[in-house]
């Protein structure tokens, strides 16, 4: 794992935006894995700015979102499709027919929907860079604790903690879905690079469990310990439970020097 600790959340977003723009400027048909939640909103803002002010084009990009609520209409304000349109898709030149979310309505078989999502990812050559947040319980996507580390896209029931954490995003009278389709942990592990962003004190324990805890289905993000190219971008608060805080900062400085000498190499 490459662990990079920044002073604040804005710097985390700036760095994540550099990763995304480096990929989409250098690859013919890049495939992005996208995440929802409050953490990546500032990344999407940066990308919209880069599109408007630096000519960053998304017209050759395909994307796959990590998850989507079960049986929700795309035009429902709470759908992750709406989230992506509000924060990114409607503000850049991405071809929205190349943007995919793991949808599943009541009339569809979740198992079949999961399999076809996996097939579509394969068909487009796999995900180059998967953006991730982390739940306070260590979930990635909607892979709640006890999710199989070998799981693929499927339907999951959300835990009470996740429902409570996310209830802030629902207005009074709006129904909060309790089930979601999500990429599995093995789906995420197949991405060539994963970029996990975590900010704020309420993520400190999950971050510490992910990095220094046992590889365990009880902390799904700990699976990233087995990923060859996992990059963890943290602000100081999210990193505050890490005992080796100073080592990570020092190692990052050393790696920057190596990169300056030999160049940055990402094998997408
Ligand atoms: C949600 C999403 C995750 C996200 C997590 C943290 O439940 N399914 O993909 O990483 O919550 O969200 P936030 O960034 O709002 O803390």
Note down pLDDT in tens along the chain; length 268 residues. 999 999 999 999 999 999 999 999 999 999 999 999 999 999 999 999 999 999 999 999 999 999 999 999 999 999 999 999 999 999 999 999 999 999 999 999 999 999 999 999 999 999 999 999 999 999 999 999 999 999 999 999 999 988 998 899 898 888 899 999 999 999 999 999 999 999 999 999 999 999 999 999 999 999 999 999 999 999 999 999 999 888 999 999 998 899 888 877 788 8
**pLDDT value, residue 89:** 98
pTM for the structure as a whole: 0.95
In ligand 1, the atom with minimum distance to the C-alpha of 35 is 9
What is the rounded CA–CA span in Å between residue 25 and residue 54? 11
Catalytic residue among 65, 137, 143, 208: 137
- Residue 190 known to be catalytic: no
Within 10 angstroms of residue 255's Cβ, the number of other Cβ atoms is 12
Output the residue whose Cα is nearest ligand 1's atom 9.
Answer: 141
**pLDDT value, residue 172:** 87
**pLDDT value, residue 259:** 85
Mutate to test the pocket of ligand 1, among 133, 161, 210, 234 (most ligand atoms within 8 A of CB): 133
- Residue 175 known to be catalytic: no
**Secondary structure string (H, E, C) spanning 188-252:** HHCCCEEEEEECCHHHHHHHHHHHHCCCECCEHHHHHHHCCCEEEEEECCCCCCCCCHHHHHHHH
Ordered structural domains, the chain, with CATH: 9-169+180-228 (3.40.50.1360)
Ligand 1 centre to CA of 181 (Å) is 14
- Residue 139 known to be catalytic: yes
Over residues 209-241, the pLDDT tens digits come to 999 999 999 999 999 999 999 999 999 999 999
Output the residue whose Cα is nearest ligand 1's atom 1.
Answer: 37
Mutate to test the pocket of ligand 1, among 13, 16, 35, 194 (most ligand atoms within 8 A of CB): 35
């Amino acid at each position: 794992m490459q662990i990079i600790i920044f002073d604040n959340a804005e710097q985390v977003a700036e760095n994540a935006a550099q990763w995304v723009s480096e990929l989409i400027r250098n690859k013919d048909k890049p495939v992005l894995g996208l995440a929802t939640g409050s953490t990546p909103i500032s990344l999407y803002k940066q990308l919209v700015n880069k599109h408007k002010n630096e000519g960053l084009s998304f017209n050759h990009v395909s994307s796959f979102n990590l998850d989507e609520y079960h049986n929700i209409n795309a035009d429902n304000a709470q759908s992750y499709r709406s989230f992506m349109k509000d924060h990114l898709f409607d503000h850049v030149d991405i071809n929205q027919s190349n943007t995919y979310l793991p949808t599943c309505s009541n009339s569809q078989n979740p198992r079949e929907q999961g399999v076809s999502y996996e097939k579509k990812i394969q068909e487009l050559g796999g995900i180059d860079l998967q953006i991730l947040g982390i739940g306070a319980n260590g979930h990635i996507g909607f892979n709640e604790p006890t999710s199989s580390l070998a799981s693929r896209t499927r339907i999951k029931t959300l835990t009470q903690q996740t429902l409570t954490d996310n209830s802030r995003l629902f207005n009074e009278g709006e129904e909060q879905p309790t089930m979601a389709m999500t990429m599995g942990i093995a789906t995420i592990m197949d991405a060539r690079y994963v970029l996990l962003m975590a900010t704020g004190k309420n993520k400190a324990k999950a971050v510490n469990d992910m990095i220094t805890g046992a590889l365990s289905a009880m902390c799904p993000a700990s699976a990233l310990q087995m990923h060859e190219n996992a990059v963890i971008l943290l602000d100081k608060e999210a990193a505050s439970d890490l005992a080796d805080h100073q080592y990570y900062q020092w190692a990052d400085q050393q790696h920057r020097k190596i990169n300056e000498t030999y160049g940055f190499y990402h094998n997408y």
